[in-house]
Structure 1
Amino acid sequence: MEEGLPTVELLESIHTFPCEYRFKVIGQADDHFVGRVLAAVRQELEEDSEPRFSTRTTTGGRHVSVTVEPTMETASHVIAVYSRLRDLEGLVMLL
């Protein structure tokens, strides 16, 4: 298990897979952060299309929150997506 990530056991005790899972990713509001988030999720899940998502920019415009809600097949996939998202350039917080 990677430090700071949920365990498979915890995820399976809270969710029934497959299910829609919500990732909240907060980062610097540059022109490409949202695209990097979506690309990371798509690549990890090997999807051609973007999952359902929404964005919200802070009042000052310095940060953007990206909520991504893909269908996750297993708890292991959730952990893999978290691992990929943690490496994003411009990441401030991952929930």
Structure 2
Amino acid sequence: MTTDTEETLLEFPCQFPLKVMGRHGDDFEAAVLTIVRKHVTNLGEGAVRARDSGKDKFTSLTITFEAQSKAQVDALYRELHAHELVLMLL
């Protein structure tokens, strides 16, 4: 178990589900996965689940990975949040 200097309720490493939402289209999923792979080197098979909205206007991706630190998760959130195709992060 490792802890960061900042307070967090998580204990690292841990399984971390990240949900990213954007408009439906081929570029969205590819852009998100490019960013995630920069921060997560051990993204396993089956780690990504995609779901389209009822009218296929939006796509949500749930990416579950083993987070190593709060700094890793924070950096990933910052980069995804800054991307123009990402509408919401959970």
TM-score range, shorter chain: 0.7 to 0.9
1:66 to 58, 61, 64: 61
Shift of 1:50: 4.0
Query: What TM-score comes out, normalization by structure 2 length?
Result: 0.83
Q: Which residue of 1 aligns with 2:15?
A: 20
- Does residue 77 of structure 2 align to residue 82 of structure 1? yes
- Runs (4+) of structure 1 exceeding 3 A deviation are none
SS at match of 2:26: coil
The one-letter code of the counterpart of 1:65 is S
Matched, 1:35 2:27: no
Q: How many residues align?
A: 83
SS of 1:32's equivalent in the other structure is: helix
Secondary structure of the 2:19 match is: strand
Give the TM-score taking structure 1 as reference length: 0.79
* Alpha-carbon spacing, 1:17–1:50, altered in 2? closer, same or farther (3 Å): closer
Judge conservation of contact 1:38–1:50 (CA < 8 Å) in 2.
no
Of 50-59 and 75-84, more deviation after overlay is shown by: 50-59
Unaligned runs of at least 5 residues, structure 1: 1-7
**Aligned equivalent of 1:56, options 51, 54, 65:** 51
CA RMSD of aligned residues (A): 1.4
Q: Which amino acid aligns with 2:71?
A: S
Q: Is residue 24–residue 66 contact of structure 1 (8 Å, CA) maintained in 2?
A: yes
* Unpaired runs of at least 5, structure 2: 1-5
